[in-house]
A and B are shown apart, each in its own frame.
Chain A
């Protein structure tokens, strides 16, 4: 699986032609997105270049401690970002942080433990990044749904509490729907992979000149690993976050308006 290609800055600059098209469309159809497109291009350049140097440094040091530090930073930023999507969930940060940490540690631990990848920075950094990124999206979608549904279903939840159900029993239908919506997107894209879209790892390996069979096998590993990590993240985030809607006496903190 070792192959490398050289990409020059002028080649990167060439792809800006397509950005120009995007800006042109925005100007022509007055979607008012030129500025956002510009910011997106600049930010992606700066962020990816910076992380490229960080990863290069970690590869050069060959230090697992630095890998752990990088992943910890990604988990914290992932939790902060996901919290922005879960505004209706009180105290969403800690459930998200724990969810991303567990998803990351469990997934990386398993792929190393099962001998799928060597415990080396060149495997752990990219896999860790993918796992945390997908776990973040899944947890954010799940908690976003949880926040909306807890609000919309407050009457039904309280009607169930009113008969002596625990907060867990009362929230379970809502938690189940939230968990589902957090994981369904990846399940759907896994179903259609290869038909409707080519996943990034495979594309990257093919571009880098790898054998297609190797590229496909690595992609399958990553897709299946991601399914697990996304399920863990959505499960942990929803299982912890729903509690924040209730008092210890199984009361809704924000009861429905009469």
Chain B
């Protein structure tokens, strides 16, 4: 474990408690997420996905503060924050229509009038590891792996500075998983965006991250740098 003192903090959670009904999901979690590739790892049901959702204000904690680049996220316009810090959920959740319709919709959210032209769609698909022929495909008839990539392309259309990814490979076989991991590393290299990745797989955390946070039963039990990590 290495201290994070001289790294710019992407996110900080300070004494965060989150409950849902009578269930406590996160309890007094204080962690730091530096720029780069961060993995939030832990067994299923430990609160990883809930923590991820706090980072772009899909939910707010009951107690405690979440800071993005030093500022309380509650002081930010949530819509602006989410375009800067886009989240790709675990379940494929594309809209009805073609892959291109989905990408156009997301590009429109960013106020990008010209975005969504065939050329731009092809570039986004290519970044997400799909070829241009996918643009016209019915989004909801793709395989889970293809939908996952289409979700990634859609998220890239809002031109985020940070991508939050919730178990991006959990439904995939080993080959598809390796391909997505390659795509994510490639994205970091080419676009320089930061990644926060939720995973239940400690090996994936080691492969992908240069900073890991371990959660167990709603509590952060460890955080620190991965010395052998391959993250940029």
Contact = CB atoms under 8 A, between A and B. Distances in A.
Interface of A: 155-156, 158-166, 169, 173, 249-252, 255, 258
User: Which label, helix, strand, loop or mixed, suits the secondary structure of the B interface?
Assistant: mixed
Contacts of A166: 79
B87 A250 contact: no
B59 A162 contact: no
A169 B60 contact: no
Contacts of B106: 163
A163 B59 contact: no
B30 to A, nearest CB: 22
Given A173-B95, A251-B60, 19 more contacts: A156-B94, A159-B89, A159-B94, A160-B93, A160-B95, A160-B105, A161-B82, A162-B86, A163-B82, A163-B109, A163-B154, A164-B86, A165-B79, A165-B109, A169-B109, A173-B96, A251-B59, A255-B58, A258-B49
B217 interface: no
A164 B93 contact: no
Contacts of A250: 78-79
Given A159-B151, A173-B96, A249 B60 contact: yes
A163 B86 contact: yes
A158 B87 CA distance: 10
Name the residue in A155, A160, A166, A169 with the highest tally of chain B Cβ atoms < 10 Å from its Cβ.
Answer: A160
A159 B106 CA distance: 11
A161 B82 CA distance: 8
B58 A164 contact: no
Nearest to B158: A163
B104 interface: no
B57 A251 contact: yes
Contacts of B49: 258
Residue of B59, B83, B88 with most chain A CB atoms under a 10 A cut-off: B59
A155 B89 contact: yes
5 residue pairs, one from A and one from B, having the closest CB atoms: A159-B93, A164-B83, A162-B87, A164-B82, A156-B93
Nearest to B167: A258
8 contacts: A155-B91, A158-B89, A159-B151, A162-B88, A163-B154, A169-B109, A251-B60, A252-B58
